[in-house]
Structure 1
Amino acid sequence: MRVRVSSKGATRLLAHHPWVYRSDVLEGPDQPGLYPVVSSRGVMGLALYNPNSEISVRVFSFKDAGRPQEVLLENLRQALRRRKEAIAQEPQGAFRLVHAEGDLVPALILDYYAGHGVMQVGSAALEPLTPELVQVIRAEIPLQSLLAKNEQKTRSLEGLPLEVKPLLGPVPDTVMVREGSIVYRVDLMGGQKTGAFIDQRDNRIRLQAYRGETALDVFSYHGSFALHLARNFKQVTAVDSSAAALQRAGENAQANGLSNITFREANAFEFLREEERRKAQYDLIVLDPPAFAKGRRDIERAYAAYKEINLRAMKLLPSGGLLATASCSHHLSEPLFYQMLAEAASDAHRTVRVVEKRGQGWDHPVLLNVPETQYLKFALLEIL
């Protein structure tokens, strides 16, 4: 059995973009599975296929070589082996072991938290292979436990149930993770995503290079940026709208022996406006908001929201102050992100220098052919 795609779908695959939408599938099996993909040009590759999904084809190999399942599992092995040295160096750390399309294992996310794994499967074609995936993972990575945290809404689009269940060993509710010079607790069962936002790990560690009197961490969640800043700033303020998140942030501060973080439960937009009214100033501000743009139709609204918080933050920084600002919205492209920052600087009447352009960690690989794999933008800016 095989999947036949239109000339439009074939053009995408020839450019080595792995997705073909349902409207560009001419014929295919009735059931999800792993199949060769063909067009009038011949064999295009091997893919996960679901006739009921909007993204019906997710290619994991652009070669017609080997049995599809064996090729997919070999891609998984290679992804895990690329992370082995990092785990050996920091076994108590947190890393992404598999980054879906970025590692040529579509629809699979696997994160490592101090010896414990959390996995998310997002395709009906991949779900039946879960036992084989677990077998490969166990053979390559020493894990005390492995949790399937399959509660992402996109599973519903694949006709899959939302569920959280252990796949290996007794899974603890929480685990303590080391990140550079700090530690923080990860809620494996109830935390957002797989438990924590490890794509910002390297950016958080980077900020330990800076020192000053006051720092502000907005959209703080569990305080990960604030913890790093508190090492070298006399006073840090962590702001989040979730009382539960701030409670965990406070526990993380205690675990690190840090008493110089003030926690504020507040709406970020209102907080920044109030700080501007009272003419507050900070030496460094971090803005790490959630994805304001969930889809293309959200771009205009999200652009305005990003501009608003960045404009307010720029007004709270003195000359020489630093703004560390991020967007995890894929649909807000990097050019749009920096255009937004330029407009915010202009409206704030500030001269702003780009110190560094950064992004997601090395363990969240980007495929140049697949812009969707580059989602995190992170800018270090200096107010002149």
Structure 2
Amino acid sequence: MRKYAKFFVTPKGERAARGGHPWVFGEEVTKIEGDYANGDLVDVVTSKGKYLGTGFVNDHSKIRVRIISTNTNDKFDEAFWERRLRYALDYRLTVMGERDFNCCRLIFGEADMFPGLTVDRYNDLLVTQTLSLGIEMRKQMLFELLIKILREMGQEIRGLYERNDVRIRLLEGMEEGKHWFATDLCPEPGAVTTEIVENGIEYTVDVENGQKTGFFLDQKYNRQAIAKIAKGKHVLDCFTHTGSFALNAAKGGAASVTAVDISAEAVQMAEHNAAINNCSDVMHGLQANVFDLLSDLFNKHSREYDFIILDPPAFTKSGSTVKNAIRGYKEINLKAMKLLPRGGYLATCSCSHFMKEELFVKMLQDAAHDANVSLRQIEARQQSPDHPILWQVPETNYLKFYIFQVV
């Protein structure tokens, strides 16, 4: 006799669960048998009571149950979670290699069967974001296990910082906040900054104040692709953040690089990173609104750039705002295509899951038509493999990245 409450679901919920999707939405629950508290494990069953999976329940969330296992024999003890952590770490070591294991995403939520949990590694610091109550209630065990396993692997870890300063936690019935994770394993973590090396480029990462968890790791190998074709080019890197694309272009031999961001702090950090990589003679920062800057350059009939990089923030974070997002993406891509000379290069991307691949491609086709140019595709890329795409969970497939020559 299983000890968990039973959540009976609709045929739609059953199809999703059988198809491998871990989310059960509130409207898909038809009946509940047994007692439970939010954050508990519960069984998800068909209308006839046949087992589908076990997951974390939260009545505060639209996602009522987050399935973590479809094996009735699983015992959700410390050994279970340690096996799952080791599996995730072994995967990263395999696909990233020893060098890039030092700076990568160690846990990518549902793709690693840790719903709502992100763990990024920046050299000797771990940064976490916890967006599900079930994980929140077990994080002391999980984080201590994670540090222990990494140290067993010979990895230096001096602290774990929690970046839970996101509003979605309020929707899950949890508080916002950011702070060091308190544990005897890391009694004095020290500074909130650390140094990382990615693609041979050094960065200072601020895990307390940087965007997201401090740095955008998912574009690691897309930056390498930029470096390959930057030699001799005059590069405009839009939405530069920490200057990562700009620095890869500079290291790739660009003649000049302008790194643009609306945030003064971002431009300052990009210029700091340029200085520590001895790129200040090639790369300079510019604080500006990218939309306005592209318009101004076009109105001046500027032809000073022959390589433009567009790495904007997610213009949409829900299905209801996709149409507005398409307009935003099209505006910057159209302006960039008009600015580039024939034979110039364009790198463009979207990091929003809601901006589906087919929508992004259609937007690029429309922009090229309106700009009266043709696009010669050089590469179509996605997020790096430390952000694995689970085919049964389309939400894990979010980054679209294209490099074109404008002909």
Q: What TM bracket, shorter-length normalisation?
A: over 0.9
Q: How many angstroms apart in 2 are the aligned matches of 1:177 and 1:286?
A: 23
Say if 2:165 and 2:178, in contact at 8 Å, map to a contact too: yes
The one of 102, 127, 131 aligned to 2:140:
131
Q: How many angstroms apart in 2 are the aligned matches of 1:24 and 1:54?
A: 10
The one of 197, 214, 223 aligned to 1:178:
197
Length-normalised TM-score, structure 1? 0.96
Alignment match, 1:38: 45
Alignment match, 1:23: 27
Instruction: Measure how far apart 1:91 and its partner are.
Output: 6.7
Instruction: Measure how far apart 1:116 and its partner are.
Output: 1.2
Alignment match, 1:215: 235
SS of 1:249's partner is helix
Alignment match, 2:255: 234
Alignment match, 2:15: 11
Q: How many angstroms apart in 2 are the aligned matches of 1:368 and 1:92?
A: 24
Matched, 1:195 2:224: no
Alignment match, 1:56: 64
Instruction: Measure how far apart 1:6 and its partner are.
Output: 1.7
Instruction: Measure how far apart 1:288 and its partner are.
Output: 0.3
Q: How many angstroms apart in 1 are the aligned matches of 2:8 and 2:339?
A: 54
Alignment match, 2:55: 47
Amino acid at match of 1:217: D
Say if 1:32 and 1:124, in contact at 8 Å, map to a contact too: yes
The one of 237, 245, 266 aligned to 1:225:
245
Alignment of 1:266-305 (within 5 A): 266-281=288-303, 282-305=305-328
Instruction: Measure how far apart 1:130 and its partner are.
Output: 1.0
Alignment of 1:297-376 (within 5 A): 297-376=320-399
Q: How many angstroms apart in 2 are the aligned matches of 1:227 and 1:277?
A: 28
Matched, 1:247 2:257: no
Say if 1:92 and 1:177, in contact at 8 Å, map to a contact too: no
SS of 1:67's partner is coil
Question: Any unmatched runs of 5+ in structure 2?
Answer: none
What whole-Å deviation, never above 9, does each CA across 1:33-57 have from its counterpart, x for those lacking one? 2232222251111212112211111
Question: Any unmatched runs of 5+ in structure 1?
Answer: none
SS of 2:233's partner is strand
Q: Which of 3-12 and 357-366 deviates more?
A: 3-12
Q: How many angstroms apart in 2 are the aligned matches of 1:225 and 1:120?
A: 25
Length-normalised TM-score, structure 2? 0.91
Q: How many angstroms apart in 2 are the aligned matches of 1:116 and 1:366?
A: 25
The one of 131, 140, 144 aligned to 2:158:
144
Amino acid at match of 1:179: E
Instruction: Measure how far apart 1:248 and its partner are.
Output: 0.7
Q: How many angstroms apart in 2 are the aligned matches of 1:182 and 1:92?
A: 15
Q: How many angstroms apart in 2 are the aligned matches of 1:371 and 1:83?
A: 21
Alignment match, 1:256: 277
SS of 2:71's partner is coil
Q: Which of 365-374 and 159-168 deviates more?
A: 159-168
Coordinate RMSD, CA, aligned: 1.7
Say if 1:87 and 1:93, in contact at 8 Å, map to a contact too: no
SS of 1:360's partner is coil
Residue identity (%): 37
Alignment of 1:148-167 (within 5 A): 148-167=162-181
What whole-Å deviation, never above 9, does each CA across 1:211-239 have from its counterpart, x for those lacking one? 12300100011111101111211111111
Amino acid at match of 2:243: G
Amino acid at match of 2:32: E
Q: How many angstroms apart in 1 are the aligned matches of 2:307 and 2:81?
A: 45
Amino acid at match of 1:38: V
Instruction: Measure how far apart 1:126 and its partner are.
Output: 1.4
Say if 2:232 and 2:254, in contact at 8 Å, map to a contact too: yes
Q: How many angstroms apart in 2 are the aligned matches of 1:87 and 1:153?
A: 31
Say if 1:93 and 1:114, in contact at 8 Å, map to a contact too: yes
- Cα 1:37–1:77, aligned 2, differ >3 Å: closer, same or farther? farther
Q: How many angstroms apart in 1 are the aligned matches of 2:58 and 2:284?
A: 49
Amino acid at match of 2:39: P
Instruction: Measure how far apart 1:172 and its partner are.
Output: 2.1
Instruction: Measure how far apart 1:84 and its partner are.
Output: 3.1
- Cα 1:65–1:92, aligned 2, differ >3 Å: closer, same or farther? closer
Matched, 1:89 2:93: no
